[in-house]
Chains A and B, each alone.
Chain A
Amino acid sequence: MWRTLHSEWGKTWSVRAPWICLLTTVALVVITAMSLANDFVYGISIDEVPADARMPMMDAVGPAVLFGQVAFAAFAMQLVTAEYSTGEIRSTLRGQPDRTTVVAAKSLIAAVCGLAVGAASGTLAAGTTRLILADNLASPESYPAVALRCGLLMAVVGILVVAVGALLRNAVATLVTAFAVLIGTLVLPSGLNGWFPGEAGSTFLADDAEPYAGPVGLLVVAVWGVLFLGLGLWSANRRDA
């Protein structure tokens, strides 16, 4: 496993697309959070919002991270789908014929990168939000807590997307499915949407008490991740490469 991980890690950073996807993720999260915070401040300046109103930090950072999941999904997706679209999978599986090990190594890379990019983008977004909101910020959260929640969610999302990629193999199909599962499910009726990754992730990021305690949200996303991982491994082992 260690050697496969070493090989896959080297492969990840020896092409351009992963760098672009991760930088885009950070930029998307920070810019979205800035925009949301700025809208709030602007609302006060035009008297749309009372001058003494306060915005919780995660009202800006949370939606921004959910949005950023799409760019990060592109990163996690190409770890798998680029192998199939380029034909490289035939080289990969000759080096490591155990397909479970290959998918596991890619999942781990997606999780580690998700943790890092989620923590970095969440912290940067929290910092800029704090600067923009200034006195209009409701009870500021500690940066490590924000970083941990954003990082953990992205890590689980990374595994989920790698698993969808292993199941579908096709880049467009994987990205569309990831978008539908991670973001699209937000529009489901309330009550129902709590059992899907969109609302569950949002609840976890905001550390809400509704519809369940925050950490349960992460657990819901993780259950979806495990479900897709099971399907992905089944498909990778069963189908011809």
Chain B
Amino acid sequence: MIEFDRMSKRYGDTIAVDELSVVIEPGRVTGFLGPNGAGKSTSMRVLLGLDHPTFGRALIGGRRYADLADPLRSVGAHLDAHSVHPGRSARNHLLALARVNRISPRRVDEVLEQVGIAKVARNRTRSFSLGMRQRLGIAAALLGDPEVLVFDEPVNGLDTDGVRWVRHLLRGLAGEGRTVLVSSHLMAEMHQTADHVVVIGRGRVLADCATEELVGRAEDTIVVRSPDPEARDELRRALPGASVTTAEHDPVELHVVGADEHQVGEAAHARGVLLHHLARRAGTLEAGYLRLVQDDIEYAAVPAAGRS
């Protein structure tokens, strides 16, 4: 279990994280979402003892990272693909980490095999692609067979197969009862991977809920296709409470938000608008996330004096 307890981090006058309090439970993949500069990476660095919090604590199983004996056996982390000396081989990099945490060299070869870079393990990492470096970082996280795993943007630079592999890996780790915290900007990917999401914006928690709950905050879209050039205006007049927009990629496709398929179908029939297609498209994590973050940005834009 990971616990952030009123954790704050300031850099000079800039507040990167503002009293973050959240608990990451075991047995599920928790997505850590937020715009650039929201404080995700900073929170992870504080959790791993790399940065000192200005206030509050970040705990793993009730203890600070610095107080863990053989930390890699409790917490595995992959923060970025550049925490490696490019002149050192992948195997030697992992061996150095293994030695300091009493992990056998056999385990090094196991994880190299598991992440699929065993064949190049004796090459200097300078020659590695970004995807290979990501796999090496993931290998380092898995090295100590830890109960808690933290990944910062683990699928950047990975090909389609690699992305699928990471998804299965993360879900498998959570399925074994481990705590898995993963940040990503790829919403579609997170929708498929995370059971639970924590969204932060401007250093504060905006949402801490099941992934589907955040998805549910985005309204479904009714997609219609009509050859009638007046279709959009007719539907707007018929459905004053809904938003009717033309799809960017196709002028005959219209998107209606704020009405269900019955209302749209009936409105089209009443106005004599010919439809070739009418379907409901479910909300996405991206839409739910954008709505949440948008509300936060609008809140931030309101002058302080205007708030109650």
Q: Which residues of A contact B (CB under 8 A)?
A: 3-4, 6-8, 10-11, 14-17, 82-83, 86-91, 93-98, 238, 240-241
Contact = CB atoms under 8 A, between A and B. Distances in A.
B80 A95 contact: no
B65 A3 contact: no
Interface stretch (B81-89, B200-208, B231-239, B244-252): B81-89
Contact of B85 (A88, A95, A240): A88
Interface string B81-102: 0111111110011011101111
Contact of B96 (A11, A16, A90): A11
A14 B92 contact: yes
> Which 7 residue pairs spanning A and B have beta carbons closest together?
A7-B100, A14-B92, A240-B51, A15-B87, A7-B99, A90-B83, A95-B100
A15 B88 contact: yes
B149 to A, nearest CB: 12
B48 interface: yes
A15 B96 contact: no
Contact of A91 (B52, B68, B87, B97): B97
Contacts of A89: 83
14 contacts: A6-B100, A7-B96, A7-B100, A10-B96, A10-B99, A17-B87, A87-B80, A88-B84, A91-B84, A94-B49, A95-B72, A98-B66, A238-B52, A240-B45
Contacts of A16: 87
B77 interface: yes
A86 B82 CA distance: 7
Given A3-B100, A11-B88, A15-B87, A94 B82 contact: no
Contacts of B71: 94-95, 97
Category for how many chain B residues contact A: 20 to 34
Interface of B: 45, 48-52, 65-66, 68, 71-72, 75, 77, 79-80, 82-89, 92-93, 95-97, 99-102, 140
Contacts of A97: 49, 65-66, 68, 71
Given A10-B96, A87-B84, A241-B50, 9 more contacts: A11-B92, A86-B85, A91-B83, A93-B49, A94-B50, A94-B72, A95-B72, A238-B52, A240-B50
Pick from A3, A11, A94, A241 the residue with the most CB of B within 10 Å. Answer: A94
A88 B88 CA distance: 11
Nearest to A96: B100
